[in-house]
Amino acid sequence: MRWMSATTAEEAGCFFQGVKKSHCVMAADSMEIDDALYSRQRYVLGDTAMQKMAQSHVFLSGIGGLGVEIAKNIILAGVKALTVHDTKQCTKWDLGINFFIHEDDITSQRNRAEATLHRIAELNPYVHVAASTVPLDETTDLSFLKQYQCVILTEVSLLLQKKINDFCHAQQPPIKFISADVYGMCSRLFCDFGDEFEVLDTTGEEPKEIFISNITQSNPGIVTCLENHPHRLETGQFLTFREVNGMSCLNGSTHQITVVSPYSFSIGNTSDMEPYLHGGIAVQVKTPKTFYFERLEKQITNPLCLVADFSKPQAPLQIHVAMLALNHFQENFGRRPNIGCLQDAEEMLKIAMSISETLENKPQVNGDVVKWLSRTAQGFLAPLAAAVGGVASQEVLKAVTGKFSPLQQWLYIDMLDIVTPLEKTGSEEFLPRGDRYDALRACIGDSLCQKLHDLNVFLVGCGAIGCEMLKNFALLGVGTGQDKGLVTITDPDLIEKSNLNRQFLFRPHHIQKPKSYTAAEATLNINPCLKIDSYINKVCPATENTYSDEFYTKQDVIVTALDNVEARRYIDSRCVANLRPLIDSGTMGTKGHTEVIVPHLTESYNSHRDPPEEEIPFCTLKSFPAAIEHTIQWARDKFESSFSHKPSLFNKFWQTYPSAEEVLQRIKSGESLEGCFHVIKTLSRRPRSWTQCVELARVKFEKYFSHKALQLLHSFPLDTRLKDGSLFWQSPKRPPFPVKFEFNDPLHYGFIVSAAKLFATVYCVPFTEKDLSEETLLKIISAVKVPEFRPSNKVVQTDETARKPDHIPVSSEDERNAIFQLEKSIQSSEALENDLQMKPISFEKDDDGNGHVDFITAASNLRAKMYNIEPADRFKTKRIAGKIIPAIATATAAVSGLVALELIKVVGGYPADAYKNCFLNLAIPIMVFTETAEVRRTEIRNGISFTIWDRWTIYGKEDFTLLDFINAVREKYGIEPTMVVQGVKMLYVPVMPGHIKRLKLTMQKLVKPSADKKYVDLTVSFAPETDGEEDLPGPPVRYYFVQEDN
């Protein structure tokens, strides 16, 4: 038996180059989670699952195109140990399917497992990776598998799959079994986790909290939520109650619910309970669920399949039969069907017919599916492997952690949408030519391969999806044509450690290097023939000189790999303006989406808008928090205000008015200088020593967590009632209670330390380790004179629709006070040049040493304590305050694979019904393919209509007036514009004063183009058919300043 593996713990963390017998590829064993590396994934899986995963041993057989995808994803995720097994030698064929096999592996005739071992091991130093090259067949003693919790088989015969599955299923506890394969245009995935498999958390979603407005005294009792807050629960779920007033015996009890309406549910008999008064929160209780599995042998005859495309509900069974026929063909002939061979296809069809009769439901055989599987079975679509490999990897993680719902039990993903035009393609198109693209050519033919090679593609973003897309481009040979073809990439970001958990092209030595340059270099290792230009620009209005209309028109397709909606909307608008196809995708945790946008065929990204995120009302944040999210946002706002916004305004003021004396003179003479009151207040209270920074933090503690509560209770005593007689302080409003400072309370102490350190940073006050000692801090705090609470008559905002005021007026008394304070500062020599500068801080969530998250956690939890809200740990606070998007490599890989499959269709010029958008959630798991939305046609009138892809053009000349433009539109398109707009600038709106006079002005004068600008895009609209209706919108009109030479 030949093994290459990790050796001793002493060698942990180091890599040995060129050693053939053993390799150490693992850091020291540790159960502590490296948050800097795993933070985004921790938010997906949680620490319990992460720790279970870090103790798991996994066996993977077959390190071809699919095996290497699965290995990559589970190593990035952080299993304890992975053994990769393969008996095949590297061939030219492998270069187009396995991104970790290089040319020199072929010339030196290396085994595939040995060739890839070091490259996959480099992905994560915490994972032991070993390689085995021993034969695995029907005669092998399978007892060696007992050391593994999960076994994954790829490229293994069906007979051997059954034998290994039976062995795994029979173990106590069962070894979780996964098999997966890609043959040509079809892929399959099968899972068997034993007779019973318990899952503690089926979805990974946060337990829902529902605020209650009423509970009836009845059988069953009906619980109603607060208005406009649907509960989003399902019948059969469990809830526990707290803070219910009146019907208090519900508190702490758990009930199974039945949904009555979106705003109410029933909980069983409440008729004998006390009447409900007010308040109460119902909290969802996660309950374990047991999943039941059958062995492969039984599931073959009666498969339980996940349907991914509801327009083809029979497809999974049809592919199931076709792939079984392929397995039998291999067993009978010792080979796969020959590429394009009709005789082999006929033979496979006969086998499929006989297999269908042995299955329980005797499904109808689809001859076209069997034929195309036979024709392409020797081929391999790398993006299909990325898609199914992402799903399979998530199943591995479920198997070893018990987190999320497992696949039951089959998944089939295919690319059969593309076969219709290929019917007319000669079989010689699919035959091998001895290069790295033979596996791809066997599936899509040489002409489509050439189109991919000649493709100009613009990839925006080189994060997780971006890295995966570049890998797919390299394997497909995108941008490798001799005369044509180029991949252009851009990303303004630098690599951080947390990126290494998903962005698999990056390694620790790349940290703080630009993503785009590094990704380009790494992609050339996969395919040296790729032509790639990399930039570090943002794609936004400010960079339109670089990413101009001319740049877009040179691109054949744009692929976005972005993490925000605003950037997507902008790039979509540029693609629509320049008639370019766009493929968009994104992930959030285990969820992902893909969307294909094709000129003249589909709607664009901007055609649909998600509802805006609900903003927390200003009064809720300021005075009436009801949930931990409110206190975290309050603390984040306090951070921004105290350590970023105020210091920035302070600096800006003193850059405008360089001396304190000048400012004093100007305000004494009655001049009003914007912001001077706040700036002078900050200057007069500026701490100048560490002691003063600690004193300031202590005073802030009193103000935020004691005086604020006392003021609210002064304004609204506990027995305050509203006009209708109901209590003011009832759910969701929670009365605050002042927090008494305790030096020995870690939360109180933590706030003082983190706040003092941040004040010292912004006010440029040095401090030492000794300053941070408990002894020093206790001495300072004990001497602080904390101001006593004095109630004010300030009006407390209670209107939820009210927004934060932009400007708070300054009283004449405040102005007089400002003069006095500034005079005092000048006299004390405390308004010198150094005093007029502060150091603003930008919030940085991923640097644990800067104290930013520590401050927000302490401030948020103190406010939560004041309002009796359940606190949040630092980990949760960091996610909410930092707006961190949870992420995991499995979903990223799956989504990018699906994007690359759609790219092939775009390049092939396929009709609208071939394209598929996808939504997936690997946790549940679901995968839903839908047809793209057909582009809508807008009728103007008299048979004149347009779509978002239409653009009218008008050619002008130097003395062309606005009236000439309007007449030209009428003459050319049969309808007269009544309004002309350029971006947000209204060029001509007849009802606006003075606009009629503009009709005589030249277009040059109105638009004021830059010297190099040949045209301008305008928006026109037309008079409605009947008065009183809104103007009718029209398509964009591109106006050329001079006639173009055609």
Q: Which of 585, 454, 455, 464 has the alpha carbon at shortest distance from 519?
A: 464
* Interacting residues of 624 by C-beta distance below 8 A, sequence separation 6+: 732, 733, 734, 798
| Dist CA 72 CA 894 (whole Å) | 12
Residue 281 near residue 626, CB atoms below 8 Å: no
Backbone angles phi, psi at 350, to 5 degrees: -60, -45
* Interacting residues of 190 by C-beta distance below 8 A, sequence separation 6+: 178, 179, 180, 296, 299, 409, 410
| Dist CA 51 CA 54 (whole Å) | 5
572 alpha carbon, distance to own chain's centre: 18
3-state per-residue secondary structure call for 598-662: CCCCECCHHHCCCCCCCCCCHHHHHCCCCCHHHHHHHHHHHHHHHHHHHHHHHHHHHHHCCCHHH
Token pair recorded at residue 611: 């509802």
Catalytic residue from among 467, 619, 676, 918: 619
Burial of 246 (0-12, 13-18, 19+ CB in 10 A): middle
3-state per-residue secondary structure call for 234-283: CCCCEEEEECCECCHHHECCEEECEEEECCEEECCCCCCCCCCCECCEEE
State the amino acid at position 391 in one-letter form.
Answer: V
Q: Which of 710, 660, 701 has the alpha carbon at shortest distance from 683?
A: 660
Token pair recorded at residue 92: 């030219």
For tokens 């390299």, the residue is 474
In a 13 Å sphere around the CA of 811, the CA atoms on its Cβ side amount to: 3
Q: Is 676 a catalytic residue?
A: no
Buried b (16+ CB within 10 A) or exposed e, 503-535: bbbbeeebeeebbbbbbbebbeebbeebbbebb
| Dist CA 630 CA 620 (whole Å) | 7
| Dist CA 933 CA 910 (whole Å) | 15
Alpha helices in 413-499 (DSSP H): 419-422, 438-444, 446-453, 464-476
Rg, C-alpha atoms of the chain:
34
* Interacting residues of 765 by C-beta distance below 8 A, sequence separation 6+: 687, 688, 689, 690, 692, 693, 759
Residue 65 near residue 98, CB atoms below 8 Å: yes
| Dist CA 950 CA 953 (whole Å) | 10
CA angle, residues 979, 980, 986, in degrees to nearest 5: 100
| Dist CA 892 CA 69 (whole Å) | 12
| Dist CA 305 CA 189 (whole Å) | 10
3-state per-residue secondary structure call for 474-502: HHHCCCCCCCCCEEEEECCCECCHHHHHC
The strand pairing partners of 560, in sequence order, are 460, 584
| Dist CA 548 CA 567 (whole Å) | 16
What is the sign, positive or negative, of the torsion defined by CA atoms of 664, 683, 740, 873?
Answer: positive
Q: Kindly report each contact of residues 100-108 with a partner whose C-beta sits within 8 Å and lies 24 or more positions away, as own/partner.
A: 100/68, 102/525
Token pair recorded at residue 610: 């998600």
Residue 88: CB atoms within 10 A of its CB come to: 14
| Dist CA 565 CA 885 (whole Å) | 13
Q: Which of 121, 148, 112, 113 has the alpha carbon at shortest distance from 12?
A: 121
Positions annotated as catalytic residues are 619
